[in-house]
Structure 1
């Protein structure tokens, strides 16, 4: 058997009349199909509301929305315009019912937080086009084959028609139209490219044409399909490009931050990154990087393909500027906490000053105990701290020690005691006086 023979599905192909019957049966939305659709929408809405992936997958498994989409692709391929009108009508009705049901649910539910599962359906990209196309191909191939297996449920999960409709309903219910239009665009991508995949497979497998069509009409149909594809795919390419750029910026920024976290003269306290504007704000400790380190920071930014004009470096000494620019985002509790921290710091500083004042008498007592071990004739010690003014602009705190001795202490000994006092108090300006 040749390699091409492995890909030949003609022997497994279902009878064309049976395929037509199955597709025609799948486009109907009334009775059981309609109730199942509404249940699936409610299950998907609850899953999105509770951020439960398992529940959302369950909703996609029971969703019957694939039927009319495959019907549209099949009917265009076979030029069966009666079936196309029925498929389009039923698809529009199903989408409308789904949107109404999900909107009603999100109007009633008390939980309106947009979790990750909701947010994931608001920014479609070119990758969603690939998913819908390959999923649609798998779906129509399964319908066309006698060996269907479990492909259809898998396609329903992969192409994800229900969650975008539910997200659009959430956007309507909460008046967040960026959610509504983003999710509706994702639903449009999935629907269009599933239908196009069905059209492509039906033409490749040469499904019988139901009615004669002249070449000019066929050319016009192809032009309309091409236009719809371009209108659908171009925004997704732009969004996909932006997504890739954002991912690349995030990766480069993380690597850049790892290389500049510690400098010789300071270290990185905080980094604020705006992925949309691609800006980076760096807060460094103390007086920040030196001029030489600033040049190094810019050189490293170029290595990681970052725009140096969008990197803002803030010194720790200038952090108040950053706090002022971000204060509007602080909650009242955070502001109170900041004030409490400042008050606590001031109290601690005041306590240190008071402790220093209280320790002055103890210092004289300690000096007397220490000096008497060498000069037992010294009877008393007085210790004080005086503020000496050199002029009207400068002053210094001057320790003064007075010793009283029962006998006269020689000048050499007095000099030794004075030097010892300066070392002991760690102040070369300390003055020592003696009384006999």
Structure 2
């Protein structure tokens, strides 16, 4: 029974000739001529995909990228103790990395669009899940390479392990001098390279590829070195995963606090910002109509600790101008797609603004200073002089009291001074014109 089960899962079934596999691996290591051009083009495509936040474009770039070659070559070299091949693989991987960083940095430097999109942001904080993806993706890749029939796994591995996007994100960090993005993305790239290489090493050892040098001393050194590097790579990723878990837990607790203390009581929340990576952690809220006293805000801050949200400060934004600028700033950070209808509405509002007299006190002041003025009509119209351009002119139409006529010149001078504009015309309506109307 055990023999049949072992045969069922045995990787030697369907295995290609070792000499042929090794020859194929070695041929894909070098970055010269066409390979280098393909890599540069793939980097440009991936950078554009990250720039415009297009997942489909990024996937396309990963499919055509030849970056897997030297990484698999390094894994084969370690598994067979072929140090000349290891040296060649590392050299070509360094060439590919430098070329990729240079091309992506140049692209993002000249690109007018430097907004941080979600596809970029997702590559700046790797964790243990990225380690698992790289390792198991590498396992699939090397198993597929050693088969007689390669099948579909190879393109899938290129997508899953995602070597291109972290490099492009690192280039974005260099181009914008955002070194936290650079180090986070480059760390993800190193994780992917290293664990694909380690997965390859394990499969090569399992399939018993012949060693170039059979020396127990070298074998022990390589194993110790690999074990040390695995720990060095995994420990930071565990920390980042733990930090991500705490952040998700904190966000969930904050949402529960807001729902229980505000939403359930009918408070209409119009602004929310949760800052986890600050000390103390911050919760900024604003409500539509409700105003809270300082005492109430203090009591809510005390309640946060009771709810398990220690080292957290609650701020309620109640200053209208401050709130407006904060909301606009937050909206600028978010991804937004403006439809054609929104653009048309915005343009119409701007056009209408040209013809509005937005001064509610003007008519009241006019009635006080010129009580004889009646039937006031006030608005802005386009004036077409003998030139190609147009100007906006304020026109005041009125009918004065028959017993006490209005001094039109005096009224016009007052309006010019009051509105700080000389482009004003004051017209008196006649009795017959009123009847016609």
TM-score (norm 2): 0.68
Larger radius of gyration: 1
Report the Cα offset of residue 48 of structure 1. Answer: 1.4
Query: How has the CA–CA distance of structure 1 residues 287 and 23 changed in structure 2, closer, same or farther, with 3 Å as cutoff?
Result: closer
Select the residue among 24, 41, 44 that pairs with 2:43: 41
8 Å CA contact 1:102–1:170 kept in 2: the answer is: yes
Query: In the TM superposition, what are the counterparts of 1:208-223 in structure 2 within 5 Å?
Result: 208-213=210-215, 215-223=216-224
Give the paired residue count: 334
Query: How has the CA–CA distance of structure 1 residues 16 and 255 changed in structure 2, closer, same or farther, with 3 Å as cutoff?
Result: same
Q: Residue in 2 aligned with 1:256? A: 257
Q: Residue in 2 aligned with 1:153? A: 155
Query: In the TM superposition, what are the counterparts of 1:27-176 in structure 2 within 5 Å?
Result: 27-176=29-178
* CA deviation map 1:328-383 (0-9, x unaligned): 9988xxxxxxxxxxxxxx979xx9xx9xxxxxxxxxxxxxxxxxxxxxxxxxxxxx
Report the Cα offset of residue 255 of structure 1. Answer: 2.1
Query: How has the CA–CA distance of structure 1 residues 5 and 310 changed in structure 2, closer, same or farther, with 3 Å as cutoff?
Result: same
Partners of 1:123 and 1:47 in 2: CA distance: 19
* CA deviation map 1:241-286 (0-9, x unaligned): 1111111111221122111115779776754421223332455734
- SS of the counterpart of 1:121? coil
Query: How has the CA–CA distance of structure 1 residues 33 and 311 changed in structure 2, closer, same or farther, with 3 Å as cutoff?
Result: same
8 Å CA contact 1:266–1:288 kept in 2: the answer is: no
8 Å CA contact 2:301–2:313 kept in 1: the answer is: no
Q: Residue in 2 aligned with 1:14? A: 16
8 Å CA contact 1:121–1:186 kept in 2: the answer is: yes
8 Å CA contact 1:40–1:60 kept in 2: the answer is: yes
Report the Cα offset of residue 298 of structure 1. Answer: 5.7
Report the Cα offset of residue 236 of structure 1. Answer: 1.2
8 Å CA contact 1:122–1:179 kept in 2: the answer is: yes
Select the residue among 280, 297, 322 that pairs with 2:283: 280
Structure 2: 5+ residue stretches without partners = 330-358, 368-437
Query: How has the CA–CA distance of structure 1 residues 290 and 226 changed in structure 2, closer, same or farther, with 3 Å as cutoff?
Result: same
Report the Cα offset of residue 288 of structure 1. Answer: 4.7
8 Å CA contact 2:40–2:100 kept in 1: the answer is: yes
8 Å CA contact 2:271–2:327 kept in 1: the answer is: no
Partners of 2:186 and 2:315 in 1: CA distance: 41
- RMSD, matched Cα: 3.5
Partners of 2:174 and 2:129 in 1: CA distance: 26
Q: Residue in 1 aligned with 2:385? A: none
Select the residue among 306, 309, 320 that pairs with 1:306: 309
Partners of 2:152 and 2:224 in 1: CA distance: 35
Query: How has the CA–CA distance of structure 1 residues 269 and 102 changed in structure 2, closer, same or farther, with 3 Å as cutoff?
Result: closer
Partners of 1:266 and 1:325 in 2: CA distance: 17
- SS of the counterpart of 1:12? coil
* CA deviation map 1:370-424 (0-9, x unaligned): xxxxxxxxxxxxxxxxxxxxxxxxxxxxxxxxxxxxxxxxxxxxxxxxxxxxxxx
* CA deviation map 1:119-138 (0-9, x unaligned): 11111111110110010000
- SS of the counterpart of 1:148? coil
Query: How has the CA–CA distance of structure 1 residues 4 and 302 changed in structure 2, closer, same or farther, with 3 Å as cutoff?
Result: farther
Report the Cα offset of residue 114 of structure 1. Answer: 2.1
8 Å CA contact 1:266–1:289 kept in 2: the answer is: no
TM-score (norm 1): 0.68
Query: How has the CA–CA distance of structure 1 residues 3 and 290 changed in structure 2, closer, same or farther, with 3 Å as cutoff?
Result: farther
Structure 1: 5+ residue stretches without partners = 332-345, 355-436
* CA deviation map 1:211-262 (0-9, x unaligned): 222x232222222212222222211111111111111111221122111115
* CA deviation map 1:20-77 (0-9, x unaligned): 1011111011122111111111111111122111111000000000010001011101
Report the Cα offset of residue 107 of structure 1. Answer: 2.3
